[in-house]
Structure 1
Amino acid sequence: MTMENSGLRKVVRASGIKRRKQILEATLRVILRDGIRGVRHRAIAEEAKVPLASTTYYFKDIEELLSETFLFWNHSANIYRDRFRNKILEHLGTDFDQQQLQVTSLRDNIANTFSELAITYVSHQITQHREDRLIELAFHHEAARSEKLRRVVHGSLAGQFDSLKMFYQLIGSDKAEADAQITISVLLRLEQEAVLAGSEINQEKIEDTVRRHINVMLLAASGDQQSKP
């Protein structure tokens, strides 16, 4: 292969990556504006300002386009989730001793720390990233009808579940899997309610729910079922 041909291939490849990204970004804008029902090859081509043939070249059908768009979106969403997870793990690594859960006053301090982190996370998700929550809801709803999209959405949720399960294992829960399922359900529900509420977000309800949840879960992990959170 000559240097000239090699350089040409690199240019073509870079051009293809750029156009594919244009299409994926356009799909997200269409979903945000019109919902999943608005995702059609022609509509996406017009939004992305690319030839109609480009959308069918890179994505053979709408199902593939939606699945690839979800993965593209989820990569960015995971960056913030990873920051939240790392903050939790940092506290567990430096300030946490599992035996502290047996002492009510120390357990309360731990619960307050984790509650504040969780409240900040949820509040940030529904205020600073409300558009992401709308997109996420749209994908989850469509996943019930699309097998290919269902697989990638399930993979994303499994990743979040695994992080929470690891958290509960680290604090000594003997029901880490069940605890992780409860927590992810609570957080997703709070986010969904906030999105549906629009501008009428009940911050006090969110804070009370998160604090109560964290207290109850740490209490359960401690094995002290007679104490009150």
Structure 2
Amino acid sequence: MSKPPGTRQSIIDAVLRIIGEDGVAGVTNRRIAKEAGVSLGSVTYHFATQHELLRESLLHFVAEETRRFTELADQCQTDVMDLDRAAAAVGQVARGTEFDSRHIAPFELYVQAGRDERLRAAAAQCFAAYDRLATRILTGLGVPDAERLASSTVALVFGLQLRSLATGSPAEELVDALLLLARGAQHS
């Protein structure tokens, strides 16, 4: 049985939920306290400023994503990968980013990082993990110049995820689009 999260972690989880529901503007100490089930004093005790709250929330998300994507990249670390295996890996990514409030929050935090350079290093760390996974999959598929193409592939995934978020289209469309591109890249 896992132990319940500590106060600090409960606050971070609450911040991510709030951001996912109402954006960064919805983050207030009173709302965080209510959402996390802690006293208002606990919020200010653990986080002196809103910047610190946002930064720690982004870092927490980045740590989870980096761990998840590194594990997935390690699973894809074979010399040759067929399209079925690539589809399974991409499907894991797509299913792991279903658009509930917890997964919308990172998009909000990335936008906030664009406004606040103090958050950019954390965002860059997460994108580096995405790039590693993309490089492994593209290399496994035999795509020439995989490392150079990885960031463009990640950008495409994010664009498709935003499209899915905005239109409500299913994650399977993301998988289909990426496999279509992979097939084309293999034959170029």
Would you call these one fold, judging by a TM-score over 0.5?
yes
2:181 matched residue in structure 1:
213
Q: Secondary structure at the match of 1:144?
A: helix
CA distance in 2, matches of 1:161, 1:173: 14
Q: 1:146 to 1:118 in 2, by over 3 A?
A: same
Q: Which residue of structure 1 lines up, in the alignment, with residue 101 of structure 2?
A: 131
Which of the pair has the greater relative contact order for Cα pairs under 8 Å at 6+ separation? 2
- How far the C-alpha of 1:66 sits from its partner, in A, is 0.5
Distance in 2 between residues matched to 1:46 and 1:193, nearest whole Å: 32
CA distance in 1, matches of 2:154, 2:66: 15
Q: Would the alpha carbon gap of residues 130 and 80 (structure 1) be closer, same or farther in structure 2, given more than 3 Å must change?
A: farther
Which residue of structure 2 aligns with residue 45 of structure 1?
A: 33
Q: Which runs of 5+ in 2 are unaligned?
A: none
Closer, same or farther: CA 126–24 of 1 in aligned 2, 3 Å: closer
Q: Which has the larger radius of gyration?
A: 1
Aligned 8 A contact 2:24 2:108 in 1: yes
- Corresponding residue pairs, total: 184
1:190 aligned partner: 160
Q: How many angstroms does 1:202 deviate by? A: 7.1
Alpha-carbon contact 1:161-1:181 (below 8 Å) kept: yes
Pairwise CA distance, 1:175: 2.7
The answer as to 2:21 corresponding to 1:33 is: yes
Equivalent of residue 117 in structure 1, options 85, 88, 98:
88
Q: Which has the higher helix share?
A: 1
- Specify the SS of the correspondent of 2:130: helix
Instruction: State the TM-score, normalizing by the size of structure 1.
Output: 0.67
Change (3 A) 1:148 1:35: same
Cα distance, 1:26–1:148 mapped onto 2, change above 3 Å: same
Displacement of 1:113 in angstroms is 2.5
Partner of residue 9, structure 1: none
Q: Which amino acid in structure 2 is aligned with residue 215 of structure 1?
A: R
1:59–1:166 distance in 2 versus 1, CA, 3 Å: same
Q: Which runs of 5+ in 1 are unaligned?
A: 1-16, 97-109, 220-224
1: CA distance, partners of 2:38 / 2:171: 42
**Offset of residue 70 of structure 1:** 1.4
Question: 1: distance between equivalents of 2:95 and 2:140?
Answer: 25
Q: 2:8 aligned to 1, 20, 31, which one?
A: 20
- Partner Cα separation in structure 2 for residue 42 and residue 202 of structure 1: 35
Correspondence list, 1:75-86, <5 A: 75-86=63-74
Over aligned residues, Cα RMSD in angstroms? 2.7
Partners of 1:132 and 1:20 lie apart in 2 by: 17
Aligned residue type for 1:62: Q
Shift in Å, 1:111: 4.3
Contact kept in structure 2, 1:143 and 1:150, CA below 8 Å: yes
